[in-house]
A and B are shown apart, each in its own frame.
Chain A
């Protein structure tokens, strides 16, 4: 057993039966599938990663890559929101601070939500209830997990609003969400998610709905708060700039699976998956001289009902024919270690990828 788990950890694909993870958060072979009329949507299909306290993991991917579903899966929100017959099917293991969440009593997981793990959503206007004041919503979040009277809770709410930089918090605590600006709303949202000092904070596209100057403020705030509270943070985004600002580790998702994962520096400077190259080449960058042309990824993201066989990226990959025997179209590549704590799932040999990156891709970025 222990041997299995060790070897599993080494290739980044843990075997699934081993108990007692050492990491604060460990996700093993997570699968989230949704039955629909058109077929089974495999939103997340075998995802594993670890995260320590005080560290930030960035999950990057395009729409439909499964990055948001992953966060809902960790929070246990994939089923809580499902009524009737069409429930999500979830398997794998999620270990949070020694507790396995998927097999745990749902009510126990509910108690962890908001206290141990909290979430910040993309659009703070729609994520806050329009009929309750900011204060009422923060007070509610606090009193679910703390047996205090409303007055104490409200004092705590004001304190949190002040901490996230909302001016005149004692007045603004009685405002409704529509009376706040976008940036203020996101600050209030952050205050609400941090009110119970959660040890895991998941930020799902926290700045996508915001203007760039406000985004800078919010990113700063998240970074400062993490330093202060020492929590583990997962940032989910499509913006490589945002993860570069925040993340220690990076996980690149494509078609519901992880294609590359490793320390942020490694993934940015020595990416070992063609999709990561594609993402880097697609972005115009302010910190470089003007590129003549961007290097886009051809085609469109795949359907999660009908993923391409073999490597899900093969129809869009310019190097799909490099490995022999059509292996890219028939065999799904597993994550393999390409460097210290750095994994990628590609059929090309390490040498090939290293050569392509240094000779063909990097010079054009």
Chain B
């Protein structure tokens, strides 16, 4: 059904500059001829597998350049990229997403962990060992101005991969380059022009053509559209879309813009301080994010709709700045800014766990789901302060959905206690009495049973049930 829709829109989009539909016919003919456009691999099969990947940049100081610490840019992440899908990676600056991109394309040497491409361990391959792999893994860079050599013609730039790999494309290099240029929507006659003669969007297309030259399987794009104007962004996003459909590409798209990432991705990883906080199918992530950070991140995106101006009821403002990756917070890295953080969050790092099919989360107290550490109810002081910045509606809604999910889960399998009760939190007795309300409220809700209906009811319930002094919702 979605394919039909796609075809329809494609048909309508004929007048667009993205000349793909017109040119793609020729391309595909050729593809049939050379039969190399889509290499083997059934869609869905694991193409890239990353386990425990780490990259620490040492900080050296003094005359002797002793190592005094390390920037833990990427600090132990696991994920898979399946053939034919698009994995989006989002996060704020300094979260390690770009470093991650460079690690999986092996432009950087990992400190620890493992990168497997098509089942082959490529973690420590040298330059020579990587060479054949460079055909399969390509990268698109953010800045279309600095990533193209200004002294080379477009022809030279796009044909460089052939020379480096010693590949002689059928019909000659020039013809192939011109074909690539037309594939990305550029005029093939501009073969002999220089980068400065092109606009930003066109340069990004050149970068894409270069990446496609060797028919890669995996394309890692680091902020491919963030340097472009809005109207051009859409062109490039659509181009990437079309190329994926036609060539069966697999993408890892790294970006800070959540709307762009949602648009292009099938699955999305949310990174914070070198860790993956949540990794989920797109729709699950955007409809019911589980990690508080994901939720805050999404609520912060300004909505282009003046009617929702200052929609503070939906917005979760985070306090302060991202902590330094040199000495990230203990336990859960987000606990210093999280409004749900409790004692366990400061001591135990939550594992990235698949709580729902297609949704992995690393959180003790996830949103929209059953609490993973329900015994730990005493909010940290910092969390109470953070909660003051979170609107009451948002908190109430969050409490309601959590309660509903908890009820649902409990109803299905009452015996199931997913929580690890290992770490007994040193609960501050003084606050205990007040906070007991939280747990009690949830328990009450779960008794009421029907998850579907309890939505509005539970919102009220949590309001009244925890009305008096309950810190998270009624901070003031």
Binding site for B on A (CB under 8 A): 62-63, 167, 181-184, 211-217, 219-220, 223, 238-247, 264-265, 268, 278-287, 290-301, 318
Contact across chains for A245 and B310 when beta carbons are under 8 A apart: yes
B286 to chain A: which residues have CB within 8 Å? 286
| B301 contacts A241, C-beta separation under 8 Å | yes
Q: Which of A181, A244, A299 touches B302 (beta carbons < 8 Å)?
A: A244
Contacts of B241 in A (CB 8 A): 293
With both beta carbons as reference points, the residue of chain A lying nearest to B233 in the complex is identified as A282
**B18 in the interface, Cβ–Cβ < 8 Å?**
yes
> Smallest distance from the beta carbon of B419 to chain A beta carbons, Å?
29
Is there an interface contact between A318 and B300, defined as CB atoms closer than 8 Å? Answer: no
Identify which of B105-113, B314-322, B368-376 touches chain A: B314-322
Is the pair A287, B302 in contact by a Cβ cutoff of 8 Å?
Answer: no
Q: Check if B230 sits within 8 Å of A282, measured CB to CB.
A: yes
CB < 8 Å: which of A215, A216, A239, A295 contacts B234? A295
Knowing A278-B231, A298-B16, the reply to whether A268 touches B304 (Cβ < 8 A) is yes
Taking a contact as CB atoms closer than 8 A, the residue among B256, B259, B283 that contacts A285 in the complex is B259
Instruction: Choose one: B6, B237, B306, B322; the contact of A268 (CB below 8 Å).
Output: B306
- Tell me if B347 is interfacial: C-beta within 8 Å of chain A: no
A318 and B262 alpha carbons, distance in the complex (Å): 27
Give the CA-CA distance A287 to B286 in the complex, in Å.
10
Closest to A301 in B: B229
Interface stretch, picked from B7-15, B37-45, B211-219, B422-430, is B7-15
Restricting to B62-102, which residues have a CB under 8 Å from any CB of A?
A: 92-93
**Chain A nearest CB, measured from B151 CB (Å):** 21
Extra 11 A-B pairs, beta carbons < 8 Å, given A238-B229, A284-B259, A293-B13: A181-B322, A183-B321, A214-B92, A220-B315, A220-B317, A280-B304, A284-B260, A286-B262, A287-B303, A296-B234, A301-B229
Whether, in the assembled complex, B5 has its beta carbon less than 8 Å from a beta carbon of chain A, the answer is: yes
Cross-chain contact B229 with A212 (CB below 8 angstroms): no
**Could you name 6 residue pairs across A and B whose Cβ atoms are closer than 8 Å?**
A215-B302, A242-B302, A281-B234, A283-B230, A296-B18, A298-B15
B309 interface neighbour in A244, A286, A296, Cβ under 8 Å: A244
Set of chain A residues within 8 Å of B305, measured between Cβ atoms: 244, 268, 287
Known: A265-B307, A286-B258. Contact between A300 and B202, CB under 8 A? yes
Partner of B5, one of A183, A184, A279, A292: A292
Contact B234 A300 (CB under 8 A): no
CB-defined contacts of A292 to chain B, threshold 8 Å: 2, 5-6, 9
A297 to B263 alpha-carbon distance, docked (Å): 17
With a CB–CB cut-off of 8 A, which chain B residues contact A278? 231
Q: How far is the CB of A193 from chain B (nearest CB, A)?
A: 21
How close is A287's CB to chain B, nearest CB, in angstroms? Answer: 5
In contact, B296 and A240 (Cβ under 8 angstroms) = no
Looking at the assembled complex, report how far the CB atom of B6 sits from the nearest CB atom of chain A, in whole angstroms. Answer: 6
Total number of B residues with any Cβ neighbor in A under 8 Å: 57
- Interface of B, helix, strand, loop or mixed by DSSP: helix
Tell me if B187 counts as interface (CB < 8 A to partner A): no
- Listed residue (A63, A212, A219, A285) with the most chain B CB atoms within 10 angstroms of its CB: A212
Q: How far is the CB of B23 from chain A (nearest CB, A)?
A: 15
Report which residue of A214, A219, A286, A290 has the largest number of chain B beta carbons within 10 angstroms of its beta carbon. A286
Chain B stretch 100-138: residues in CB contact (< 8 A) with chain A: none
In angstroms, Cα B306 to Cα A246, docked, is 8
Least CB distance from B272 to A in Å reads 10
B296 to A, closest residue via Cβ = A213
A282 touching B301 by the CB < 8 A rule? no
Shortest Cβ-Cβ A-B pairs, 8 listed: A241-B302, A296-B234, A298-B17, A284-B263, A282-B234, A297-B231, A216-B300, A211-B92
Q: How distant is the Cα of A301 from the Cα of B259 in the complex, in angstroms?
A: 23
**A285 contacts which chain B residues (CB < 8 A)?**
259, 303-304
Please determine whether A217 and B317 come into contact, CB atoms closer than 8 angstroms: yes
Q: Which of A215, A243, A279 contacts B231 (CB 8 A)?
A: A279
Contacting residues, chain A, for B320 (C-beta < 8 A): 167
Chain B residues lying within 8 Å of A183, measured Cβ to Cβ, are 321
Nearest-neighbour CB distance to chain A for B287, whole angstroms, equals: 10
Q: How far is the CB of B428 from chain A (nearest CB, A)?
A: 24
- Chain B residues with CB under 8 Å of A295's CB are 13, 234
Cα–Cα, bound, A135→B53 (Å): 43
Q: Does B352 contact A (CB under 8 A)?
A: no
B232, CB-defined interface residue at 8 Å = yes
Residues A286 and B303 in contact, CB atoms below 8 Å apart: yes
Which residues in chain B, 360-416, are within 8 Å of chain A measured between CB atoms?
none
> B138-169 interface mask toward A, CB cutoff 8 Å, 1 = contact, 0 = none?
00000000000000000000000000000000
Q: How far is the CA of A220 from the CA of B390 in the complex (A)?
A: 13
Residue of B nearest to A219 (CB): B302
B343 at the interface (CB under 8 A from A): no
0/1 per residue, B309-350, Cβ < 8 Å to A? 110000101101110000000000000000000000000000
On chain A, the residues within 8 Å of B297 by CB distance are: 212-213
Known: A282-B230, A290-B263. A296 touches B92 (CB 8 A): no
